[in-house]
Chains A and B, each alone.
Chain A
Amino acid sequence: MDLIQTLIVCEKPDAAGRVARALDDDNDPRRTNEQGVPLYEARRGKEIIFVCTALGHLYAVDSKARTSRRFYPVWDNAWKSKNLIDRESSRLAKWIQTISRIAQDSDRFINACDYDVEGSLIGYTVLRYACNNAHSDAERMKFSTMTENELRTAYKTRASHLDFSQAEAGRCRHELDWLYGINLSRVLTESTFKQNKGYATLSTGRVQGPTLKFVVVREEEIQCHAPTPYWKIEATIVHEGKTYEIDFEKERVGTQVEASQIVKNCRNAILEVTDLESKKIQQAPPYPFDLSSLQAEAYRHLGYSPSRTLALAETLYLEALISYPRTSSQKLPPEIDYTEILKGLNKYPSYRVLASRLAAQSGIRPNQGPKQDPAHPAVYPTGESPKRSLLEPETKLLDLVIRRFMSTFAEASLRENTRITLEKDQYHFFLRGSRLVREGWVEYYRPYAHNESQDLPGLRKDDRVLVHKIDSTEKFTEPPPRYNPGSLLRRMEDENIGTKATRAEIIDTLYRRGYIKENRIQTTPLALKVASILERYCPLITDSDFTAGLENKMELIQQERMSRTEVLTEALEHLRTIMHTLIEREGELGSQLSEIVAAQRTSNITFSYPCPSCNSKLMIIRSRGSGKRFIGCTGYQSGCRFTLPLPQFGALTISRRSCKTCGFQQVMVRSRGRRPLISCPRCYKNKSKVKRGATDQIKSASPLTAA
């Protein structure tokens, strides 16, 4: 009996394990480990299925010829295995060798990477370069959840060819990003380095440039804000022993004289109820989650950064607990079987009551949102139970997804808003109240839905009531609010720059480069300088319309209405002009940037809190011997030996916040995909001392106890 050998390429090891388990006749595939590379062998009738895994991208764009990393401009590029491009990816060589070896004996090839631009491209490059051009007749599996049923169906109904248009769009994006990123970043970095004031990696790109401009423009608005005065009328009435605040008709009174006049005329005045107005407002249930709305809600309610939410959502997807999170869709198609999912949620004690109530209703339909994604539905829970105990952040995000899913099927909530108008001569005051008449979806989305009610006094038309207190308060206009990672991501989405998969990473890069800091985003002097240089010499790079135009063209490639070559040719014409201008002014550019780089380097590593021993400045120092970083005193030459330990991993910044216990300046460590860690180095040292002391005591105590 001839067995057919099939090779399936997955994007991540966890996904490969799930695919192999779903396709194996006994649900128990053989797992081997070749040179540390996981490989699954499944049996399915007359078929041997090898399921191998990539680790994200195994291939990337690099310069065609071997040139110095400092050389620019570079135009000729080629796809190369990542282990040849950077040292950090050296282990990928074994990955590629293993896939190539299995590919030699395989009769059939299937791409089972995530069904989006990146997944299509990962599978395409692996099949083309590691499997000896197998991409031309490879097949494609499409699925949105990692449940066994869906994986089996995806295998049976797979497409007979790859989704070439998605892969082409992906190739174009990577090539464009590489060309813009490498050339612009090298010219900024190298022109600065040539000034001999130290090295700093400076970067920009076709998405990073406009994103940086958003925060810089906001920073300039804040820094140039000149407040103007206005007056607010604050008044109360008392009815049946209870005090109620009333709003004056104008939120802001423009002059002090007018405000004083209002207060004078209304002090101890009798107000007459002239109108009572009630409106019942239906609030439709929320839309199902697309990735951006999930990231925004997770930031608002759980405080997770967009990149952290994405990382957590991907873990939940790989555990088959939620559907594919990188989606732009706000629609849940009936094919996902709503009732079956609700029955699954019934197994969770905390959702049992709500889920069974929804499941009992016939013909339930979600409140579909306007956004669509041809590849995947909105994010939804699969209804499966976790196979391991989830970490707290995973549990919280899953809870948000489940409650959002259920709330989209619930009925609209009904709120009654009432406004009582009170008058005294020409002056109008309002009493506003609100109550929830029917909870509807709010019950399902609690605690993420607000359920505030404000009671009103039982006043009727023509009733009279005495002004209890009235005063005018002087206030000043505020500058616009700072962006936070969530609102910046929303702005990127509104402007259509970047993709749902890359936006969070771009914001992280701005932090890593030292362009922005803190959660309520502040720009550094370096960011202001880089943005002003780009704005002056190549405004196109910071123009969001230009980047959005390129994004649209890449979508046209996906729709097969434009070719990759056309888009690249057009974008390269712009880039050549920009590079020509920048190279011509290299010296000018470098001298402006190097001053700021040097100043920022010093300020970034200097604490404003003085040395407790000698009052000199404290700085972050890296040991020449061990390479470890620590806090040291600049008074070292004069004999001060004060030091404090620091975390050794992640991007370190000195926070402006002080420790509540000891008052020392705190430090913040950012690691990719993790929540920023803020800690006090001084308290950490003291805690370690106490711990060490306790251990020493036990050690020294032991022999005595034994004796």
Chain B
Amino acid sequence: MVCQAQIEASSRFCPIHTRAFLNLREAFTKWTLGYGGVARDEFLQRILRLSETGQKTKEVARFLIEDLSRWT
């Protein structure tokens, strides 16, 4: 869905994007705790702007921003 690579059976992503997606979800929990609550949309927008964010994580974030229901 994000790239042309073969997706994993248990996921909608290829192995590397699955890893980025899992990291993103884990980071969201920490962001919520850190800021005392943050909307997914805002979280993803900020993640995209940060220079520390990895390329694959940005690709997944872009994919999720298009349709937030993809998050679950």
- The complex places the Cα of A225 from the Cα of B47 at a distance, in Å, of 10
Q: Mark A249-264, 1 if CB is under 8 A from B, else 0.
A: 0000011110000000
A227 touches B56 (CB 8 A): no
Is A223 among interface residues, defined by CB-CB distance under 8 A? yes
Is A226 among interface residues, defined by CB-CB distance under 8 A? yes
| A255 with B23, Cβ < 8 A, contacts A224-B54, A225-B54, A477-B52 known | no
- The complex places the Cα of A255 from the Cα of B29 at a distance, in Å, of 12
Which residues of the partner chain A approach B34 to less than 8 Å between Cβ atoms? 228-230, 254-256
- The complex places the Cα of A229 from the Cα of B50 at a distance, in Å, of 11
Which residues of the partner chain B approach A220 to less than 8 Å between Cβ atoms? 16, 19, 56
Is A277 among interface residues, defined by CB-CB distance under 8 A? no
- The complex places the Cα of A479 from the Cα of B19 at a distance, in Å, of 14
Is A2 among interface residues, defined by CB-CB distance under 8 A? no
Interface residues of A in 224-238 (CB under 8 A from B): 224-230
Tell me how far the C-beta of A197 lies from the nearest C-beta in chain B, rounded to whole angstroms.
Answer: 16
A226 touches B16 (CB 8 A): no
Q: Which of B20, B33, B36 contacts A226 (CB 8 A)?
A: B20
Is B63 among interface residues, defined by CB-CB distance under 8 A? no
- The complex places the Cα of A254 from the Cα of B30 at a distance, in Å, of 9
Interface residues of B in 42-59 (CB under 8 A from A): 47, 50, 52-57
Is A476 among interface residues, defined by CB-CB distance under 8 A? yes
Which residues of the partner chain A approach B56 to less than 8 Å between Cβ atoms? 220, 223-224
Q: Mark A192-232, 1 if CB is under 8 A from B, else 0.
A: 00000000000000000000000000001011111111100
- The complex places the Cα of A155 from the Cα of B54 at a distance, in Å, of 60
Tell me how far the C-beta of B27 lies from the nearest C-beta in chain A, rounded to whole angstroms.
Answer: 4
Which residues of the partner chain B approach A528 to less than 8 Å between Cβ atoms? 16
Is A478 among interface residues, defined by CB-CB distance under 8 A? yes
Which residues of the partner chain B approach A229 to less than 8 Å between Cβ atoms? 30-31, 34-35
Tell me how far the C-beta of B64 lies from the nearest C-beta in chain A, rounded to whole angstroms.
Answer: 12
Which residues of the partner chain A approach B54 to less than 8 Å between Cβ atoms? 222-226, 479
- The complex places the Cα of A227 from the Cα of B52 at a distance, in Å, of 6
- The complex places the Cα of A477 from the Cα of B19 at a distance, in Å, of 17
Which residues of the partner chain B approach A228 to less than 8 Å between Cβ atoms? 27, 30-31, 34
B35 touches A226 (CB 8 A): no
Q: Which of B20, B30, B52 contacts A224 (CB 8 A)?
A: B20
Which residues of the partner chain B approach A476 to less than 8 Å between Cβ atoms? 50, 52
| A225 with B52, Cβ < 8 A, contacts A220-B16, A220-B19 known | yes
Tell me how far the C-beta of B72 lies from the nearest C-beta in chain A, rounded to whole angstroms.
Answer: 17
- The complex places the Cα of A225 from the Cα of B19 at a distance, in Å, of 9
Where chain B touches its partner, the secondary structure class is helix
In this complex, the interface size class of chain A, counting residues with CB under 8 Å from chain B, is 10 to 19
A227 touches B50 (CB 8 A): yes
Q: How many residues of B contact A (CB 8 A)?
A: 21
Which residues of the partner chain A approach B30 to less than 8 Å between Cβ atoms? 228-229
Which residue of the partner chain B has the closest CB to A475?
A: B52
B36 touches A255 (CB 8 A): yes
Tell me how far the C-beta of A475 lies from the nearest C-beta in chain B, rounded to whole angstroms.
Answer: 9
Is B26 among interface residues, defined by CB-CB distance under 8 A? yes
Which residue of the partner chain A has the closest CB to B38?
A: A229
A225 touches B16 (CB 8 A): no
A226 touches B26 (CB 8 A): yes
Which residues of the partner chain A approach B20 to less than 8 Å between Cβ atoms? 223-224, 226
A226 touches B19 (CB 8 A): no
B16 touches A479 (CB 8 A): no
Tell me how far the C-beta of B21 lies from the nearest C-beta in chain A, rounded to whole angstroms.
Answer: 9
Q: Which of A224, A225, A476 has the most CB of B within 10 A?
A: A224
Tell me how far the C-beta of B33 lies from the nearest C-beta in chain A, rounded to whole angstroms.
Answer: 6
- The complex places the Cα of A227 from the Cα of B27 at a distance, in Å, of 7
Tell me how far the C-beta of B42 lies from the nearest C-beta in chain A, rounded to whole angstroms.
Answer: 13
B53 touches A225 (CB 8 A): yes
| A256 with B36, Cβ < 8 A, contacts A226-B20, A228-B30, A479-B52 known | yes
Q: Which of B19, B31, B34 has the most CB of A within 10 A?
A: B34
Which residue of the partner chain B has the closest CB to A222?
A: B54
Which residue of the partner chain B has the closest CB to A230?
A: B34
Tell me how far the C-beta of B7 lies from the nearest C-beta in chain A, rounded to whole angstroms.
Answer: 14
Which residue of the partner chain B has the closest CB to A229?
A: B34
Which residues of the partner chain A approach B47 to less than 8 Å between Cβ atoms? 226-227
Tell me how far the C-beta of A227 lies from the nearest C-beta in chain B, rounded to whole angstroms.
Answer: 4
Which residues of the partner chain B approach A223 to less than 8 Å between Cβ atoms? 16, 20, 54-57
A224 touches B23 (CB 8 A): yes
Which residues of the partner chain B approach A257 to less than 8 Å between Cβ atoms? 36
Q: Mark A446-479, 1 if CB is under 8 A from B, else 0.
A: 0000000000000000000000000000001111
- The complex places the Cα of A230 from the Cα of B52 at a distance, in Å, of 13
Which residues of the partner chain A approach B55 to less than 8 Å between Cβ atoms? 223
Q: Mark B4-41, 1 if CB is under 8 A from A, else 0.
A: 00000000000010011001101100110111100000
Tell me how far the C-beta of B67 lies from the nearest C-beta in chain A, rounded to whole angstroms.
Answer: 19
Tell me how far the C-beta of A624 lies from the nearest C-beta in chain B, rounded to whole angstroms.
Answer: 34
- The complex places the Cα of A139 from the Cα of B54 at a distance, in Å, of 59
Which residues of the partner chain B approach A227 to less than 8 Å between Cβ atoms? 27, 47, 50, 52-53
Q: Which of B47, B54, B55 has the most CB of A within 10 A?
A: B54
B57 touches A254 (CB 8 A): no
Can you list 26 A-B contacts with CB-CB less than 8 angstroms, sorted by A residue number?
A: A220-B16, A220-B19, A223-B56, A224-B19, A224-B23, A225-B53, A225-B54, A225-B57, A226-B26, A226-B27, A226-B54, A226-B57, A227-B27, A227-B47, A228-B27, A228-B30, A229-B30, A254-B33, A255-B33, A255-B34, A255-B36, A257-B36, A476-B50, A476-B52, A477-B52, A479-B54
| Interface of B toward A, CB cutoff 8 Å | 16, 19-20, 23-24, 26-27, 30-31, 33-36, 47, 50, 52-57
11 additional contacts (CB under 8 A) given A220-B19, A223-B57, A255-B35: A224-B23, A224-B56, A226-B53, A226-B57, A228-B30, A229-B30, A229-B34, A256-B34, A476-B52, A478-B52, A479-B52
Enumerate the 10 nearest inter-chain pairs by beta-carbon distance, A residue then B residue, closest first: A226-B27, A227-B52, A225-B54, A228-B30, A226-B23, A223-B54, A224-B20, A223-B56, A229-B34, A223-B55
